[in-house]
Amino acid sequence: MNPIILECKGLSKRYGNTQCAVDNLSLSLERGQIVGLLGPNGSGKSTLIKLINGLLTPTAGTVLIDGMLPGVETKSIISYLPEQTYLSPSMKVKDAISYFTDFYKDFRPDRALKMLKDLDIDINARFKILSKGAKEKVQLILVMSRDAMLYLLDEPIGGVDPAAREYILRTILMNYSENATILLSTHLIQDIENVLDRVIFLQNGRAVLNATVDEIRMEQKKSVDILFREVYRC
Amino acid sequence: MPWDLDNDRPIYLQLMERIRQDIVAGVYKPGDKLPSVRDLALDAAVNPNTMQKALSELERDGLVYSKRTSGRYITEDETMLNQLKAELAMQHIRQFLETMKQLGFKKEEILSLIQEALKEEP
């Protein structure tokens, strides 16, 4: 098995004639890690995630997932949680489960149903009647109930209260396997610092730091959260 | 309940401290099987790899040992456990003495204050 699950080489994305959203970025991630993609608004987090899952094509450079260019095969091993919901408001939770079961060979409906039950979410409810937090939880449950190789979670804890955040983090910890890697973007570092192996700081589309959480604490004698505030001081 | 961890020190060191403390406090008895890495990581709300590292370090120190397929166990070496207990006690005492020094107390004063406090203990 290729130990590298994700490799970006000189990756750039420019929208029209603007500044690069992702700028000559090179990095590689090994399997079996939870990686935080950190950066202020507009630093290129979502663009990078969309380049990895093939929703955007690079202006220059390449991205390889398990050695493959983004395509049908990589979609089958990537589980992606977008920043915005894509589930139709009129759809019922159980319909979403059957969609996922049809779409993804690696989807485990029993796992999803168990988590929904733990959270007292009615599978007969339509998405339009669910609270924002409940909707986010359902989406994360769907995404984490796949046995994927690479999970791309774009702001998974952005819109939920602290208690739900804790549940979501537990869900992530509980469902991820040793061979899988999770790349999650967020600006709420403090809440998730302890569950991360490694952090990547993005600034203007470049990786300005790529280190493990304990390396940062050992060398800087401060938390990633404090370091982030220093690096990105306005 | 996630474990209470400081923000400015490496996480794995703090996990090691917590497990050591639990061993001394009798949460785990000599020869007890430790929960799995995953369960401990979930309980502490930390990354499983970090928990793995903490346990490997404790194993290197000899405080826990692993059986090939069945998991990790607390050492039954009483000498080592007593030594650990004494070490933790000394750590707390040194911290206390440091604070008392900062407050301006001399050695004899500290000693008599301790004796007084001990008398008040039931």
Q: Domain locations in chain A?
A: 4-231
Write out residues in chain B with pLDDT < 50, as ranges.
Answer: none
Closest listed residue to residue A193, CA positions, set A221, A224, A215: A224
Closest listed residue to residue A53, CA positions, set A162, A169, A149: A149
User: Which ipTM score applies to this complex?
Assistant: 0.80
Of the spans A5-9, A42-46, A114-118, which averages the highest pLDDT?
Answer: A5-9
* Residue from A176, A191, A194 whose CB has the most chain B CBs within 10 Å, to mutate: A194
Does A4-231 carry CATH code 3.40.50.140? Answer: no
pLDDT for residue A26 is more than 80: yes
Distance between CA B29 and CA B88 in Å, rounded?
17
Residues 6+ apart with CB under 8 A from A67: A2, A4, A7
Among B2, B8, B53, whose Cβ lies nearest the Cβ of A222?
B8
Span between the terminal Cα atoms of chain B, in Å: 32
> By the 8 A CB rule, do B58 and B52 touch?
no
Average pLDDT for chain A: 91
Alpha helix locations (H) across chain A?
A: 45-52, 72-75, 93-103, 109-118, 132-144, 162-175, 189-192, 213-220, 224-231
Overall average pLDDT of the A214-228 stretch: 90
Work out the minimum CA distance from B107 to partner chain A, whole angstroms.
32
Q: What are A153's strand-pairing partners?
A: A81, A184
pLDDT for residue A199 is more than 90: yes
Q: Which residue has the tokens 């040793």?
A: A178
Q: Report pLDDT for B68.
A: 79
Overall average pLDDT of the A152-178 stretch: 81
pLDDT for residue A44 is more than 90: yes
Confidence tier at A172 by pLDDT (50, 70, 90): confident
Give chain A positions within 8 Å (CB) of B42.
170, 173-174
Residues 6+ apart with CB under 8 A from A155: A83, A185, A186, A187
Closest listed residue to residue A65, CA positions, set A83, A44, A79, A86: A79
Closest listed residue to residue A176, CA positions, set A158, A142, A149, A200: A149
Q: Report pLDDT for A108.
A: 95
A217 reaches B (C-beta below 8 A): yes
Q: Report pLDDT for B50.
A: 94
Q: Report pLDDT for B1.
A: 67
Overall average pLDDT of the A181-198 stretch: 89
